[in-house]
Amino acid sequence: MSTTADRLATAYFDAIEALGRVTPKGWYAERSTARAMITDAGVASLNGVYDLTTDPDLGSLDELATEVARQVPHWSIIVRGEASAALVDLAARHGLRERHALPFLGCATDDIVFRPGSTQRTLVRRVGAAENERYTDAFAESFEAPEGAFGSLMGGAVLDTDGITGYLAEESGHSVGTALGMRAPSVIGVFNIGVVPSARGRGLGRMLTETVLRDGIAAGGDAAYLQASPMGRPLYESMGFVLVETWTMFAAQ
């Protein structure tokens, strides 16, 4: 599992780097095996300091944490696996005392369980940068986030960037869900799966996820990963995803 975990984690962190470099107010930096990415969104998990390995470089994390804290009010430290006592202390020194477990799931594309064809009258279509405001509005509604919480995260040329594909689910001309696919060579990252509250419970989350995966497979993907919320995890496990690692995130209380 460690080889698979390293491969999928590397693809995830490559995707995070790509987003930090392309989002309009983004910033990205490296120190040894530690990394930092800022999107300027008002969500801690979207402005992060993290390490590529399961044995984080605490000195480099500390340096990058200082830089990130100077730039944004909402940010986090994320590490693979359980956090050591030294890392807990480091996070606390930076005011990050709230700890969250982040299930990191993955699978080979051959193991994905696709459902039979659906008769739902829901259109899932790709969207480009010309519709970034519509996408952002639907994204925020799907995640029940305050207005402006995601800022310019999906603005600029993000949705026209090679390897990044945005999707909207629509019914009767109204946006009811979002998804984002981020593809590295042969690995598919599934992000932003969300359905507006009024349209939940009808399989739209699965439809969106399957669309990202089918497009990724068509582009040559042989493995996929995602981070699962408690609400979404049963769905993803029913599709063939399994727990690869549990990561730890520290944020302000």
pLDDT confidence of 3, banded at 50, 70, 90?
confident
- 165 vs 212: CA distance, rounded Å: 8
Task: Give pLDDT, residue 253.
Answer: 79
CA dist 43 → 40, 71, 227, 249 (Å): 8, 13, 16, 13
pLDDT confidence of 224, banded at 50, 70, 90?
very high
pLDDT confidence of 2, banded at 50, 70, 90?
low
Tokens encoding 157 = 């040329």
Tokens encoding 170 = 């629509």
- 52 vs 55: CA distance, rounded Å: 9
| % of the chain surpassing 90 pLDDT | 93
- Average pLDDT for the chain: 95
Residue among 184, 6, 193 at smallest CA distance from 81 = 6
Tell me the per-residue pLDDT of 135-188, one tens digit each, with 9 for 90 and over.
Answer: 999 999 999 999 899 999 999 999 999 999 999 999 999 999 999 999 988 999
Q: Count Cα atoms within 13 angstroms, Cβ side, for 16.
A: 25
**The pLDDT of residue 1 is above 80:** no
pLDDT confidence of 118, banded at 50, 70, 90?
low
- 42 vs 37: CA distance, rounded Å: 13
